[in-house]
Amino acid sequence: MRPKVLLSALLTAGALAGLTVWVADALRSPATPAPIAEAEPAHPPADVRVGAAATSPAPPPVKVSGPLRKGDAPQILDPDSVDGILADLEKPGREIHRAALQRARELDDRSIIPRLREIAARTGDADEKAGILDTIDFLNLPSIDENMAEAQAARAAAGLPDPPQSPTNRWTGRPFVRKQ
């Protein structure tokens, strides 16, 4: 009989202790972040942050890096916007500049070109200048979909049909999955 009593007492005590810890933890953080945020690394490595900023599809505005000091107002910029890219190019650090130029290529907004030219003219670093000028050249290129649109318009004007589509992927041999 005694072991059963002891077991019951210990189980009850254990459950109460667990409940207490859980309640205390919940009360300590009433605005517990969503599980997805909780599981994010608190301090990802610098490269990861640069990579994420460079590739996020529609990132929320983020605080510009750097610890806030007393009296500082948090500056908020979308790193994928023209302003965000230009702000990063004004900061020190080759990696930051490289990532910003990569984002400029992806953003593919030619309105950034005049500002890039200004920055290229100011920089004394020959490699960085070359990188900026390469980016400007890239932005000035026509895109392949522009080529396709021109070709299609020319065919339409000439009354020619669109060429037949390939049924299979030339590299994998797998059939395409078309929507119509």
Partner 1 sequence: MKSIQTSMIATLLALGLLTLAPARIQAQPKALTVSLTATYQLPDVTSGADQNITKSTTKSVKFTSASILNLMTAANLGMTTVKGYTLIYDPIANAIGATNKATGDFQDASSIFSIDTSGTQVYSGSANSDTGQQSETYTTYVVITFDDGNGNAFTVDGLIKSTQSQPAPTAAQVNNGVTPNETISFSGSVNGFGTVVGSDGNTDTAVFTGSVSGGGSGQGS
Q: Are 152 and 118 in contact (CB under 8 A)?
A: no
By C-beta, is 75 or 156 nearer to partner 1? 156
Contacts of 162 (CB under 8 A, 6+ apart): 152, 155
By C-beta, is 111 or 172 nearer to partner 1? 172
Q: Is 124 helix (H, G, I), strand (E, B) or coil?
A: coil
Q: Are 88 and 97 in contact (CB under 8 A)?
A: yes
> Does the footprint of partner 1 cover residue 127 (CB under 8 A)?
no
Give the contact letters, 78-117, x = binds to partner 1 (CB under 8 A), - = no: ------------------------xx-xx-x---------
7: its two tokens: 């077991």
> Rounded distance, CA 96 to CA 165, Å?
42
Residue ranges binding partner 1 (CB under 8 A): 3, 6-7, 10-11, 14-15, 18, 21-22, 25, 35-36, 38-45, 47-48, 50-52, 54-58, 102-103, 105-106, 108, 138, 141-148, 150-151, 154-155, 163, 165-167, 169-172, 174-180
